[in-house]
Homo-oligomer: A and B are copies of this chain.
Amino acid sequence: MARQSQTATAVLGVLSIEPATGYEIRQAMGSVLGHFWHESFGQIYPCLTDLEADGLVQGSPGERANSRRYGITAAGRTHLAGLLAESPTRQPPRNGTLLRVFFGQAQPPAALAALLESTEAEARDRLATFAAIRAELATEEEHVEHVPYWTATIRAGELAAEAQLTWVAETRAALTPPATLPEP
Protein backbone atom coordinates (compact mmCIF):
# COMPACT_ATOMS: atom_id res chain seq x y z
CA MET A 1 0.00 0.00 0.00
CA ALA A 2 1.07 3.50 -0.67
CA ARG A 3 1.66 5.56 2.40
CA GLN A 4 -1.83 6.39 3.54
CA SER A 5 -3.28 9.53 4.87
CA GLN A 6 -3.49 12.60 2.81
CA THR A 7 0.20 12.91 1.96
CA ALA A 8 -0.31 10.64 -1.02
CA THR A 9 -3.31 12.73 -2.04
CA ALA A 10 -1.29 15.91 -1.97
CA VAL A 11 1.65 14.42 -3.86
CA LEU A 12 -0.52 12.77 -6.52
CA GLY A 13 -2.50 15.98 -6.80
CA VAL A 14 0.56 18.07 -7.53
CA LEU A 15 1.75 15.52 -10.09
CA SER A 16 -1.68 15.52 -11.72
CA ILE A 17 -1.01 19.13 -12.71
CA GLU A 18 2.41 18.48 -14.15
CA PRO A 19 5.41 16.18 -13.65
CA ALA A 20 7.81 17.31 -10.92
CA THR A 21 10.79 16.35 -8.81
CA GLY A 22 10.44 15.89 -5.08
CA TYR A 23 12.02 19.28 -4.64
CA GLU A 24 9.47 20.89 -6.89
CA ILE A 25 6.60 19.22 -5.07
CA ARG A 26 7.92 20.77 -1.90
CA GLN A 27 8.08 24.14 -3.66
CA ALA A 28 4.47 23.84 -4.71
CA MET A 29 3.66 23.62 -1.00
CA GLY A 30 5.58 26.84 -0.59
CA SER A 31 3.31 28.97 -2.75
CA VAL A 32 -0.48 28.90 -3.18
CA LEU A 33 -1.16 25.42 -1.88
CA GLY A 34 1.25 25.98 0.98
CA HIS A 35 -1.22 28.24 2.73
CA PHE A 36 -3.60 25.31 3.11
CA TRP A 37 -1.47 22.22 3.02
CA HIS A 38 2.02 21.39 4.17
CA GLU A 39 4.42 18.52 3.55
CA SER A 40 8.09 18.25 4.42
CA PHE A 41 10.88 16.55 2.48
CA GLY A 42 10.89 13.78 5.02
CA GLN A 43 7.40 12.82 3.85
CA ILE A 44 7.60 13.53 0.17
CA TYR A 45 10.56 11.39 -0.84
CA PRO A 46 9.46 8.16 0.88
CA CYS A 47 5.95 8.76 -0.41
CA LEU A 48 7.21 9.05 -4.00
CA THR A 49 9.08 5.76 -3.60
CA ASP A 50 5.93 4.04 -2.33
CA LEU A 51 3.76 5.53 -5.03
CA GLU A 52 6.16 4.38 -7.72
CA ALA A 53 6.21 0.87 -6.25
CA ASP A 54 2.43 0.87 -6.59
CA GLY A 55 2.58 2.05 -10.18
CA LEU A 56 0.73 5.26 -9.42
CA VAL A 57 3.59 7.47 -10.50
CA GLN A 58 6.42 6.90 -12.94
CA GLY A 59 9.87 8.34 -12.30
CA SER A 60 12.45 9.09 -14.92
CA PRO A 61 15.92 10.66 -14.75
CA GLY A 62 15.61 14.44 -14.60
CA GLU A 63 17.74 17.01 -16.36
CA ARG A 64 20.22 17.22 -13.49
CA ALA A 65 22.47 14.51 -12.14
CA ASN A 66 20.76 12.41 -9.48
CA SER A 67 17.48 14.14 -10.06
CA ARG A 68 14.32 12.23 -10.74
CA ARG A 69 11.17 13.63 -12.24
CA TYR A 70 7.86 11.91 -11.55
CA GLY A 71 4.73 11.85 -13.64
CA ILE A 72 1.36 10.48 -12.66
CA THR A 73 0.19 7.30 -14.42
CA ALA A 74 -3.32 6.48 -15.57
CA ALA A 75 -3.71 4.25 -12.52
CA GLY A 76 -2.49 7.17 -10.45
CA ARG A 77 -5.20 9.45 -11.80
CA THR A 78 -7.88 6.93 -11.00
CA HIS A 79 -6.46 6.43 -7.54
CA LEU A 80 -6.29 10.19 -6.99
CA ALA A 81 -9.94 10.62 -7.92
CA GLY A 82 -10.76 7.96 -5.36
CA LEU A 83 -8.70 9.65 -2.66
CA LEU A 84 -10.27 13.03 -3.38
CA ALA A 85 -13.73 11.52 -3.16
CA GLU A 86 -13.09 10.33 0.40
CA SER A 87 -14.40 12.83 2.87
CA PRO A 88 -11.57 14.88 4.35
CA THR A 89 -10.33 13.68 7.74
CA ARG A 90 -10.46 16.84 9.75
CA GLN A 91 -7.41 17.21 11.95
CA PRO A 92 -8.10 17.52 15.66
CA PRO A 93 -8.44 21.20 16.57
CA ARG A 94 -5.35 22.86 18.01
CA ASN A 95 -5.86 26.58 17.92
CA GLY A 96 -3.13 28.16 20.02
CA THR A 97 -4.70 31.60 19.88
CA LEU A 98 -8.08 30.45 21.14
CA LEU A 99 -6.45 28.27 23.78
CA ARG A 100 -4.91 31.46 25.15
CA VAL A 101 -8.12 33.44 24.95
CA PHE A 102 -10.03 30.67 26.67
CA PHE A 103 -7.63 30.90 29.62
CA GLY A 104 -7.62 34.70 29.45
CA GLN A 105 -8.39 34.95 33.14
CA ALA A 106 -5.02 33.38 33.97
CA GLN A 107 -2.94 36.12 32.36
CA PRO A 108 -2.43 39.86 32.64
CA PRO A 109 -4.59 41.97 30.28
CA ALA A 110 -1.49 43.19 28.46
CA ALA A 111 -0.68 39.65 27.34
CA LEU A 112 -4.12 39.28 25.81
CA ALA A 113 -3.85 42.67 24.14
CA ALA A 114 -0.54 41.61 22.58
CA LEU A 115 -2.12 38.38 21.39
CA LEU A 116 -4.95 40.24 19.67
CA GLU A 117 -2.44 42.63 18.17
CA SER A 118 -0.39 39.88 16.57
CA THR A 119 -3.47 37.98 15.46
CA GLU A 120 -4.63 41.09 13.66
CA ALA A 121 -1.24 41.71 12.08
CA GLU A 122 -1.08 38.15 10.86
CA ALA A 123 -4.55 38.31 9.34
CA ARG A 124 -3.69 41.53 7.51
CA ASP A 125 -0.51 39.91 6.26
CA ARG A 126 -2.39 36.96 4.92
CA LEU A 127 -4.91 39.20 3.18
CA ALA A 128 -2.09 41.05 1.45
CA THR A 129 -0.48 37.79 0.37
CA PHE A 130 -3.76 36.44 -0.95
CA ALA A 131 -4.40 39.64 -2.89
CA ALA A 132 -1.00 39.25 -4.54
CA ILE A 133 -1.67 35.62 -5.40
CA ARG A 134 -5.07 36.54 -6.79
CA ALA A 135 -3.46 39.09 -9.11
CA GLU A 136 -0.96 36.49 -10.26
CA LEU A 137 -3.69 33.95 -10.92
CA ALA A 138 -5.58 36.43 -13.07
CA THR A 139 -2.65 36.59 -15.50
CA GLU A 140 -1.97 32.85 -15.38
CA GLU A 141 -1.74 31.36 -18.85
CA GLU A 142 -0.34 27.91 -18.36
CA HIS A 143 -2.92 26.24 -16.18
CA VAL A 144 -6.12 28.01 -17.08
CA GLU A 145 -8.32 25.00 -16.33
CA HIS A 146 -7.12 25.06 -12.73
CA VAL A 147 -7.52 28.77 -12.08
CA PRO A 148 -11.17 28.66 -10.92
CA TYR A 149 -10.29 26.03 -8.33
CA TRP A 150 -7.19 27.82 -7.14
CA THR A 151 -9.14 31.05 -6.90
CA ALA A 152 -11.80 29.34 -4.81
CA THR A 153 -9.10 28.04 -2.49
CA ILE A 154 -7.60 31.47 -2.04
CA ARG A 155 -11.04 32.91 -1.47
CA ALA A 156 -11.51 30.60 1.51
CA GLY A 157 -8.31 31.99 2.98
CA GLU A 158 -9.48 35.55 2.44
CA LEU A 159 -12.82 34.97 4.08
CA ALA A 160 -11.18 33.24 7.04
CA ALA A 161 -8.73 36.12 7.46
CA GLU A 162 -11.53 38.66 7.26
CA ALA A 163 -13.50 36.75 9.88
CA GLN A 164 -10.42 36.87 12.05
CA LEU A 165 -10.20 40.64 11.73
CA THR A 166 -13.85 40.96 12.70
CA TRP A 167 -13.22 38.75 15.69
CA VAL A 168 -10.22 40.78 16.84
CA ALA A 169 -12.22 44.00 16.67
CA GLU A 170 -15.17 42.54 18.55
CA THR A 171 -13.00 40.86 21.13
CA ARG A 172 -10.93 43.94 21.73
CA ALA A 173 -14.13 45.85 22.45
CA ALA A 174 -15.50 43.12 24.69
CA LEU A 175 -12.41 42.30 26.70
CA THR A 176 -10.41 45.50 26.89
CA PRO A 177 -11.36 47.58 29.92
CA PRO A 178 -12.88 50.71 28.36
CA ALA A 179 -10.75 53.84 28.78
CA THR A 180 -12.02 56.53 31.09
CA LEU A 181 -14.52 58.63 29.19
CA PRO A 182 -13.39 62.10 28.11
CA GLU A 183 -15.12 64.87 30.00
CA PRO A 184 -18.14 66.38 28.26
List chain A positions with a Cβ less than 8 A from chain B: 6, 9-10, 13, 16-17, 32-38, 77, 80-81, 84-85, 87-108, 111, 115, 118, 145-146, 148-153, 155-157, 159-160, 162-164, 166-167, 170-171, 174-175
Contact = CB atoms under 8 A, between A and B. Distances in A.
Contacts of A167: 155-156, 159
When all copies of this chain in the complex are counted, the total is: 2
Contacts of A90: 96
Sorted nearest first, the 5 A-B pairs with minimum C-beta distance are: A88-B96, A104-B149, A38-B92, A163-B163, A13-B103
Contacts of A94: 6, 37-38, 91
A81 B98 CA distance: 15
By CB atoms of chain B within 10 A, which of A32, A145, A171 has the most?
Answer: A171
Contacts of A153: 98, 101-102
A99 to B, nearest CB: 5
Main secondary structure of the interface of A (DSSP, over half): helix
B97 A88 contact: yes
29 contacts: A6-B94, A9-B99, A9-B103, A16-B103, A34-B93, A36-B98, A36-B99, A37-B95, A37-B98, A38-B92, A80-B103, A80-B106, A81-B106, A81-B111, A88-B97, A97-B156, A98-B156, A98-B157, A101-B156, A102-B153, A104-B146, A104-B152, A105-B146, A155-B170, A156-B167, A159-B163, A159-B167, A160-B163, A163-B163
A160 B81 CA distance: 29
Nearest to A97: B88
